[in-house]
Amino acid sequence: MTFLGKLLAAMATNRSPLCIGLDPDLERLPAHLPRTPAGVVQFNQAIIAATADLVCAYKPNIAFYEALGAGGWEALQATLQAIPAHIPTILDAKRGDIGSTAQAYARAAFDELNVDAITLSPYLGSDALAPFLEHKERGCFILCRTSNPGGSDLQSQLLASGEPLYSYVARLAAERWNEHGNCGLVVGATYPGELAAVRAICPGMPLLVPGVGTQGGDLAAALAAGGDRTIISVSRAIIYAGPGIDFAAQARQAAYDLHSSR
């Protein structure tokens, strides 16, 4: 099954656009868990078990695991193994390099970790994306209009045509990079106007939309702007919803509140 097929099936089964980011910070783990890679695995496993019927995907950010050294890689592998097979996994790695480096990154994500999709940076252009896109069954979410304020430094800059850079990236994705139907775009919920503009350019493409929750993006506005195939990515507002021994139950409640507020 392709990534898009798996995503749409999970969305339909759980009636949910919610993707939970599994971004474990040792300093924010509940006090009863060890601040070690093993504690991270326990934390993630509990979050997954408590929320698997409320999501369409899980998205671990590789930085939180790389920061733990060799044990972090093992914790990431164990986390991915804990995710039910019918729920897609999106590796938030924002890779973007050329030649053999990009090929190695693609092998690490798709062959070693066996994730269903990955986030990518388009700054180095088509040849940096190609080693990922050639994996026809896997999803590739390309950074377009990110949720952080500093994204405007580049993404909102106008080209000679008068078109903003983020819009041009969306057009490249629609017209050149989506040959295998496995492209998606990352567009922040913090910019619903830009989100609507990207959706108009890419009507059938999945959009990964961070920024709801801690960053202040509005869920209803994001869903209205993004329409179908919009994946709402929430991390800290769910996984750190409660600091105590009942953290998983608190995470489930936070996920359920978002799930039911659509």
Taking 70 as the pLDDT cut, the residues of the chain under it are 261-262
In sequence order, the 6+-apart residues with CB closer than 8 A to the CB of 49 are 82, 248
For residue 216, the model assigns a pLDDT of 79
For residue 262, the model assigns a pLDDT of 64
Based on the structure, what is the number of domains in the chain?
1
For residue 259, the model assigns a pLDDT of 80
DSSP string for 31-68: TTS-SSHHHHHHHHHHHHHHHTTS-SEEEEBHHHHHTT
Active site residue 59: no
Residues spanned by the domain of 98: 3-260
- What is the reported pTM? 0.97
Give helix 219-226 / helix 192-201 axis angle, nearest 10°: 20
Nearest to 90 by CA among 189, 177, 6: 6
How far is Cα 256 from Cα 19, in angstroms, rounded to an integer?
12
The CATH number of whichever domain residue 64 belongs to comes to 3.20.20.70
